[in-house]
Copies of this chain bind each other. A is one copy, B any other.
Amino acid sequence: MTDTRTGNDTPKAVVLVSGGLDSATVLAMAKERGYAIHAMSFDYGQRHRCELEAARAVAAAAGVVAHKRITLNLDEIGGSALTDTAIAVPEQPGEGIPVTYVPARNTVFLALALGWAEVLGAESIFIGVNAVDYSGYPDCRPEFIEAFNRLSAVATKAGVEGRPIRIETPLIHLSKAEIIREGVRLGVDYGLTVSCYNPDEDCRACGRCDACRLRAAGFEAAGVPDPTRYQTD
């Protein structure tokens, strides 16, 4: 279908870009599939503003068509160590759903992406959720994505007209090491990305939080040099 606004027929995709390793890889995968990429990032009161700067750098390096940043005061809702400074970020692995879980975060992000995708006439929304090395969050599981796809089919004008916007999760069954190897193959510069929940003012990683541990283990298992800048360097 020709896009009447741009005059070309390249299919569009919205890609959620957090500034982390996973979403940088998803962005490269969506680009390889030929989509005109519309990156979307969220400023949701997270502690580590380094993420947003990393998201900007990742999107710019990939040459996206557009990059939209949405401000959301999820910190007003509270309930997570990532948005509420009264809750400490853990430095040891724990059981169950961790305190870094932000209630309904991916539901909110995908809902906003769905709105933008509909306005753009985009075919798909790409999100870097992962069910293998995931952090115990309910909204990173395949059953969550399947339920969101069923919602998408009835929630929008596009869905009612038989062209539902699809949620694409190319990382969902990959290990962290497999994700990293795929990104390296696609030329992703992981030095631009930030995963740490507790970066310092210079955006260097703590090396101790859940996110740092998962990331470091991934580079090790992939046999790829870890470009992460650590506070101890």
Contact = CB atoms under 8 A, between A and B. Distances in A.
Contacts of A160: 97, 138
A147 B141 CA distance: 17
A73 interface: yes
Given A73-B70, A73-B71, A119 B79 contact: yes
Given A70-B76, A77-B116, A157-B101, A107 B151 contact: yes
Given A103-B118, A144-B154, A148-B151, 14 more contacts: A70-B76, A79-B119, A97-B160, A101-B157, A103-B114, A103-B115, A104-B115, A106-B155, A107-B151, A138-B155, A139-B155, A144-B155, A147-B147, A147-B153
Interface of A: 68, 70-74, 76-79, 97, 101-108, 110-112, 114-116, 118-119, 138-139, 141, 143-144, 147-148, 150-151, 153-157, 159-160
